[in-house]
Structure 1
Amino acid sequence: MRPAFKILTACALLSALSATPLAAREIAPGDQVKAMTRGVNVLGYDPLWRDPAKARFQMRHFKTIKDGGFDAVRVNLHAFSHMDADNQLDPAWLKTLDQVVEAALAQKLTVILDEHNFGDCGNDPATCKPKLTAFWKQIGERYKDAPDGVVFELLNEPNKALTDELWNAWVAELLPVVRATNPTRNVIIGPAFWNNIDHLKQLDLPEGDRHLIATVHYYLPMAFTHQGAPWNPDTPKLGVTWGTQAERQRMKADFDGVQAWAKAHDRPMLLGEFGAYDKGDMASRAAYTAAAAREAEARGWAWAYWQFDSDFIVYDINKDAWVEPIHEALVPK
């Protein structure tokens, strides 16, 4: 199936892009980061991908996000379950993805296409690799003529058996797959061990590729940010607060370490995920969220809050309203 951007008379899309050419143009990764300063993760676990009629997230929510002061969406794609035995993506799934991309671009939002099958890849790299390679070959071809507001992210949170060394080797093999069709599109890559800041120094990005954006995720301290999360048995204790001077200084020091790496390697940064789970008290969650967003902004990074819907939420879809303390922490009035 030909890319929607090549077969569509896309009046709405062209209007949204204004003077921006339809074909991708070269944009420096630092300028890309400036354009997507404030972002939010969307659509990872939405029924939309299986049955659009049951979608919680509606295309109108992209306007809500834009009007809410955000510049970008990080679209979490669990694509492996939408592949056939030959690792070909389901045409219906691709059609839905086209609609998502078009609707987000129409609101002048940067769209990060984040391949999010981190569990599959961490647990079984050998099975993951051909799927991940096939994904980027197909997505690269489909969106090769998309505007520069579409950014690729190779893989969310490499982990477990997908070690630092193995992940570096994969990056060296996956990037040429993308570059075959998208030679100058900006690509986001983070370190192994769940995009952990402490593994950034092990990340080996090809020096000659200057269209890369580095990313890390930040949820420290886990005892606070993941308290009561049922998928994380290491943080069962509730009532953990955050906001002391020492805790704020720890965050600053952690971000300073990332900034030192970014400057040494001349790579712009995306804080691709951060936030605190819903079981924490709201005052602490808002304080933590605001502190992380402001620390990222102060260093010239872009950020993407985890997440719009499901949990850690900034928007209550059932009430059709922002969760005001979190929203204001992210986008101060």
Structure 2
Amino acid sequence: GNIDLDVVKSARSWSEGIKRYSEQKKKPLFDVTPMPEMVTTYQKSREDAAVNPILQKFNDPVYEHRLQSLETNHLSKTLNHAWDKQLMREQHFDVITQIPKRGHIHEVPYVQRLKPPSLITATRNEGYDLLSTLGHDQHHWAPPDRRPPRISTPVKKQQMLTAVNKPRGYDIISNRFHEDHGPQSKWESENIRQTTVEKFWDNRDFNPITCSYYDAEKEDFYNTRLKELLLLQGSNAIDRLPPTLAKSESLMYNICTGVVKDPVRLERKIEQERAALEAKAIRIRAEEMMRVRGDVRAAAAAERKDARVSHARYTSVTDRGFHILSNQSFDQA
């Protein structure tokens, strides 16, 4: 290789020679292929942002310097133009100190001129005299024929009706409705009667003295239903047994001879078992579909993992330094 064995002899000391010899052994025999630079999303986003929102400056220093120079050159011109507009649109003197504002040389000095009193300047904006509280059409310094006209009373806005300020439809003094007293009185009496009847029947359903219902139809239905239950009293005895004994098959048919004792309950039990098997079959099919779907997803995830681009796979090839088939170095290919 390129290892010089005389570095130990030519060195000024033994330790320096050993250090140089170690550095020669660590030096690679060929040029390592540089790793490609990774471009991140952050770098691209910094290129897209032209202005720094925190510093309020452009990221390009050349453009920022050009803009600052442009603002500095036009600052005096902009201030002079703004001062001219202020003198043109505002008062030419300070309203507190009454001192004229200093303008430019070409500005014509402003001289304040007092106007004679008129109907407009001598009349206050209140529309009435503050002492007599009379309108200017009645109390005014000008002659009657030159006084300001009377200000018309504005039309009163219609108030929005609510449950509080809504006008009442009933007169509490005469005890009569303002409109349609007869029909409204009849409707109110009928409504009160219906409410009273409903309140009466709410807590008066059964008479404890006669042991019967107040409603004749309800009493007849109860008696009819009682007769039906008396006819079925023997068959209902099974319902009073414990649940385990009542649902046993020995009460439905003879387990030795196979003779059916209660066909109705036996048919009901068979139907319940069939429905349970159908529900279980549906659940089993759903679980099988979920299992197959999970296997497909797991296989797809494994395939994507094997086909995913890996930087370690690239470095494992380039770090070797030569092609495994042709034994040729990468930098000489």
Same fold (TM over 0.5): no
Relative to the length of structure 2, the TM-score reads: 0.11
Q: Where is the helix percentage greater, Structure 1 or Structure 2? A: 2
Relative to the length of structure 1, the TM-score reads: 0.11
In our comparison, the structure showing a higher alpha carbon Rg is 2
Larger relative contact order, structure 1 or 2 (CA cutoff 8 Å, min sep 6): 1
